Amino acid sequence: MANFERTYKDVKIVVTTGDITRQKVDAIVNPANSRLIMGGGAAGAIKRAGGKEIEDEAVKKAPVPVGKAIATGAGRLEAKHVIHAPTMKMPAMRIGTENVKLAMKGALECAEQLGIQSIAFPGMGTGVGGLQLGEAAAIMVKATKKHVDSGTCLKEMVFVGFRDELTNALKKVVEEAP
């Protein structure tokens, strides 16, 4: 699927299918657990591509509650930062939609503190978290709009679907959003 782009209040929103670790952005988001142990899913991919030093740095800052986020270096990744935004307290927990809303808020606040201009998000809560893709996509886009409405230094937000199904769910929500 080709990239889908839309501008919302001077912020370019891009939806694409691909590998979160290959995004050319200032920061990528890791939908973490509060212990910041990077096992499977997006966290595992970030650790494999960027290096164990990302996890080593993150774990020193743990625990981080759901709703807060911390940044680390990005190791070998093109991004400058990895923003670790817990969606769950412990690894491999099923979560509810409120956790995604809180994790998005934490990640976006962390991005503002860093003064970054571009950020990439994988599906938040769509892996081991167990949320339906459309449900998670709707929460992610709503949180993004709320953040942009309150003023932001961000110029570009990239939503990266690991599979076409997630990309399509994100694209549909971004398209339909007022």
Locate the domains of the chain by residue range.
4-176
Q: What is the pLDDT of residue 1?
A: 55
**Average pLDDT of span 5-18:** 96
Contact 81, 46 (CB under 8 A): no
The pair of three-digit structure tokens given for residue 108, joined into one six-digit string: 């976006």
**Average pLDDT of span 65-93:** 95
How would you list the strands of the sheet with 4-8, edge to edge?
Answer: 4-8, 11-17, 156-161, 118-121, 27-30, 81-84, 70-73
Contact 141, 174 (CB under 8 A): yes
Residue 109 has pLDDT above 80, yes or no: yes
Write the CATH number of the domain with boundaries 4-176: 3.40.220.10
Give dist(CA 108, CA 27) in Å, integer.
11
pTM of the model: 0.95
Q: What is the pLDDT of residue 178?
A: 75
**Average pLDDT of span 98-121:** 97
**Average pLDDT of span 139-145:** 96
Q: What is the pLDDT of residue 92?
A: 77
pLDDT band per the 50, 70, 90 thresholds, residue 170? very high
The pair of three-digit structure tokens given for residue 137, joined into one six-digit string: 């996509």
Residue 146 has pLDDT above 60, yes or no: yes
Q: What is the pLDDT of residue 138?
A: 96
